[in-house]
Structure 1
Amino acid sequence: MQIATDDPRRPDVLALLDEHLADMYATSPAESVHALDPDALAAPEITFWTARDPEAGDLLLGCAALKRIDAGHAELKSMRTATVARRRGVAGRLLDHVLDAARANGHHRVSLETGTEDYFAPARALYVTRGFTVCGPFEGYSPDPNSTFLTLDLSGR
């Protein structure tokens, strides 16, 4: 598996992000969907990565993004594993890569928003294994019964 920065507007990535958005709207009320569209993911304050399998013709396995909130704080966005790659460790490897990049960029904290529905339980479990803890809404989010807010202190305190 190779993880590298990528363009969220590539055709195979667009298909994965369309699937992601469709699932978000199928599992959460529209006002609780905070996924970004491909153009938003290409913004300068966002770094977007894909995981690919070079031995399978550069097959797209998953994606993740990191949005800079300020010099010390970033937000994890658009974590998604392709259906064909589930249960292969893709999400964990992508998450570790993004957290390493956040540390390298001097961020002291990474936060995220995810759903409260059962559909999101595997994602929440993954985040907890990396040390994320529940927090309140951050950076423009409001309290929402359909949202779980998590944060990770990268400073080691």
Structure 2
Amino acid sequence: MGGLIELGALDTLKRKAHAFESQAGADLPPLPGEPEPVDPAVEWEMSITLLVTVLSPALPYLPTVYTPDTIKALAGAIVPVADKYGLSVGGIMSGPEIGLLLVAGPLALSTYVAHRAWREQQDAERTLDAAPPPEVVAPQPRSHLGENMQDTGGRLPAIRG
């Protein structure tokens, strides 16, 4: 059986080819017509920016916290951790569930914030309606003698000396 390859040798070749593909692919330039590889930091940066943009209507302070420089630094810090655990933006940010979350999440948050504001307004109106009217104090009658005079009943005040 001169032309056949042993099964063990075939497995060895498959393993060597896989090892070569996983190592060589990172250093080779793209082939003609193949898209340029995307920098993972840029991919994370775009994803965080999208998330901040989507959540900003419900949380208007986010753009002041997540400035472009902050997002860039955060994305750069995420890359080594994502590489360590084998995560990528494409793996996390893909699928119909993520699309639903990006639309329904901010909508639900906006609804909650609007409902809370409406509820506070309703409570404030009820408090105003339930409060008793302010007590009206009638002015005290003024003496016919004037403000600085006392009624002594016709007697002269004692003179002290």
* TM-score, normalization by structure 2: 0.25
TM-score (normalizing by structure 1): 0.25
Higher strand share: 1
Bigger Cα Rg: 2
Structure in which a larger fraction of residues adopt helix: 2
